[in-house]
Amino acid sequence: MNFSQPAADIYVPDRRPVAAALARTTHLCLAAHQDDIEIMAYHGIAACFGRKDRWFTGVVVTDGSGSPRAGRFARYSDEQMKAVRRTEQRRAAKIGKYAAAIQLAHPSAVVKTAKSAAVHADLVAILRATAPHTVYLHNPADKHDTHVALFLRCLEALRALPKAQRPKQVYGCEVWRNLDWLLDPDKQVLDDSAYPKLAAKLVAVFQSQIAGGKRYDLATAGRKLANATFHTSHATDRATALTWALDLTPLVRDDQLSVEKFTLAYIDRLHADVAARLKKFG
Q: What is the CATH number of the domain that holds 66?
A: 3.40.50.10320
What's the pLDDT score for residue 70? 74
- Residue 36 pLDDT > 80: yes
What's the pLDDT score for residue 234? 65
Confidence of residue 116 (pLDDT cuts 50, 70, 90): confident
Count structural domains, the chain. 1
29 phi, psi to nearest 5 deg: -120, 130
- Look over the chain and give the mean of its residue pLDDT values, rounded to a whole number: 95
Decide if 4 is inside a domain.
no
- Residue 195 pLDDT > 90: yes
Decide if 2 is inside a domain.
no
Decide if 3 is inside a domain.
no
Of 81 and 56, the structure prediction assigns the larger pLDDT to 56
- Residue 63 pLDDT > 70: yes
Query: Which residues are CB-neighbours of 197 under 8 A, at least 6 positions away?
Result: none
Which residues span the domain enclosing 55?
9-281
Decide if 16 is inside a domain.
yes
Between CA 215 and CA 209 the distance in angstroms is: 7
- Which residues, listed in sequence order, are joined to residue 29 by a DSSP beta bridge? 58, 136
124-168 pLDDT per residue, tens? 999 999 999 999 999 999 999 999 999 999 999 999 999 999 999
Confidence of residue 184 (pLDDT cuts 50, 70, 90): very high
Handedness of CA 133, 45, 7, 74 (dihedral sign): positive
